[in-house]
């Protein structure tokens, strides 16, 4: 891999994971093609200002993918279940991998989900496992699967943020359940590493996490950071199921089994200091919660 010469296509570049990976790669001097459906968005403009080539393409449009992948040495592939749905996300993931292999991509990085290989029964975990299997079967010269756990940034969106703003962390989990989490910025760091260390890591699947806390511990930490009381309230799994069967199955699996990333060992192996939940909450996230 030649830094600044071998180009890397980053999908979802204006989103959380893709954006974090693109910024890390650009900051290290790599040549990045930032793929997005919205090249006029502010996030795309920021990437362009950082040196990225912003490229309009759509995971559902094979012709645009052919153009996006043309001439790329590497690809960072990520799809969004909650936008595309389980079946369509799987189609998107397999389609991109197949186009990349046909176009001669040398190193393919697929962002899956923590524990995808453990037969969880969670629809949006199991579909990613099937995409992983397709990536392996395609026989890239090298590939890596990253498996991030629950995003810390999820607390900033529905269905959680409104409750937190009102002083309640409302989650349908048992108070003793420990949830592994990761800051999206750390995904960017690992994403950069698996491109730069592609020869060493070829063929590997790596679960990544940064911290692990119970819901009462998360509520207490948020309260300390925000300077007000945040109470954990165990919400109803039946109400969650009414909104999303998939999400309810995931929460039940968290209670019953849970992620098993080795945080300390993986951090030491990569030389990446994990962002703790307290650090994340006290950083950029702090301004997004009402005080």
pLDDT over 70 for what percent of the chain? 99
For position 84, what pLDDT does the model report? 83
Q: What is the pTM of this model?
A: 0.96
CATH architecture under which domain 7-149+183-208+261-274 falls? 3-Layer(aba) Sandwich (3.40)
Residues of the chain with pLDDT under 70: 4, 290-291
Residue 199: left if φ>0, alpha if ψ -120 to 50, beta else—which one? alpha
Output the DSSP codes for 56-67: E--TT-HHHHHH
How do the domains of the chain map onto residue ranges? 7-149+183-208+261-274
For position 290, what pLDDT does the model report? 65
For position 11, what pLDDT does the model report? 97
Find out whether 219 and 169 touch, Cβ atoms under 8 Å: yes
For position 291, what pLDDT does the model report? 54
For position 64, what pLDDT does the model report? 97
State phi, psi for 279 to the nearest 5 degrees: -65, -45
Q: Rounded to 10 degrees, what is the CA torsion of 41, 209, 179, 156?
A: -20
């Amino acid at each position: 891999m030649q830094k600044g010469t071998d180009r890397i296509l980053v999908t979802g570049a204006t989103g959380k994971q893709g954006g974090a990976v693109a910024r890390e790669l650009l900051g290290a001097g790599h040549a990045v093609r930032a793929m997005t459906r919205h090249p006029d968005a502010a996030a795309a403009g920021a990437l362009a200002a950082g040196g990225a080539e912003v490229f309009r393409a759509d995971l559902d449009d094979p012709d645009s993918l052919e153009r996006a992948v043309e001439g790329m040495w590497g690809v960072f592939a990520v799809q969004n279940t909650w936008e595309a749905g389980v079946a369509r996300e799987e189609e998107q993931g397999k389609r991109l991998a197949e186009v990349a292999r046909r176009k001669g991509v040398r190193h393919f990085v697929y962002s899956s989900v923590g524990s995808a290989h453990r037969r969880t029964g969670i629809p949006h975990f199991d579909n990613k496992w099937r995409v992983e299997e397709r990536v392996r079967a395609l026989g890239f010269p090298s590939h890596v699967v990253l498996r991030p756990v629950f995003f810390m940034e999820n607390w900033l969106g529905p269905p959680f943020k409104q409750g937190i703003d009102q002083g309640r962390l409302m989650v349908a989990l048992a108070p003793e359940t420990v949830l592994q989490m990761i800051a999206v910025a750390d995904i960017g760091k690992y994403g950069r590493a698996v491109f730069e260390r592609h020869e060493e890591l070829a063929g590997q699947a790596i679960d990544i996490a940064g911290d692990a806390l119970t819901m009462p511990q998360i509520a207490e930490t948020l309260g300390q950071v925000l300077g007000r009381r945040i109470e954990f309230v165990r919400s109803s799994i039946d109400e969650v199921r009414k909104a999303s069967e998939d999400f309810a199955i995931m929460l039940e699996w968290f209670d019953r089994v849970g992620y098993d990333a080795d945080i300390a060992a993986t951090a030491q192996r990569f030389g990446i200091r994990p962002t703790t939940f307290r650090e994340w909450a006290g950083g950029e996230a702090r301004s997004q919660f009402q005080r």
